[in-house]
Amino acid sequence: MNAPESSVDAVSLRAVGLKATPQRRAILKVLEASERPLSVEDIRQQLGGRSGIPTIYRNLQCFVEQGWAESLAGADQIMRFVRCHSTGHHHHIQCEACGRTAEVQTCAVEASLATLGRPAGFHVTRHQLALFGLCPECQ
Ligand SMILES: [Zn+2]
Ligand SMILES: [Zn+2]
Ligand SMILES: [Zn+2]
């Protein structure tokens, strides 16, 4: 297993052409520190309520485009964001009891999913999986 990469700092933000605003750094820090996915409202509260929802949301979309975060729909259908540590294709599994998430770095289903589109004449280019389970502490 690879050790999680260090937090995205000002240098990486600039490397991809994003200004390292204090707010961007703060949002990444909040995501990084959380074991559970956070909604935009959760993040707003953790930032002390000073930033607006639209601004936070825009920054999160930016992070998703960079592969630094991902949005997951919870069992309640609310979209929450998690920090991604893998750079390659991966999935996140969510604990149904406590909401904690873990990154799943191997995708065992990729090959079988590739054949699913064939009868309809489609070439499968990507997929998303919502994985739910019970974490070690909730089993
Ligand atoms: Zn991810
Ligand atoms: Zn759990
Ligand atoms: Zn996959």
**pLDDT per residue as tens digits for the range 63-97:** 999 899 999 988 788 899 999 998 889 999 999 99
Range of the domain at 103: 10-133
Number of structural domains (the chain) is 1
Classify residue 88: in a domain, yes or no.
yes
Classify residue 116: in a domain, yes or no.
yes
Cα 61 to ligand 2 centroid, rounded to whole Å? 27
Q: Cα(119)–Cα(66) distance, rounded to whole angstroms?
A: 33
Read off the pTM: 0.82
Cα 83 to ligand 1 centroid, rounded to whole Å? 6
* Ligand with minimal distance to 129 CA: 3
Question: Can you give the CATH number for the domain in which 84 is found?
Answer: 1.10.10.10
What is the structure's pLDDT at 120?
Answer: 94
Classify residue 3: in a domain, yes or no.
no
Q: What is the mean pLDDT of residues 3-26?
A: 71
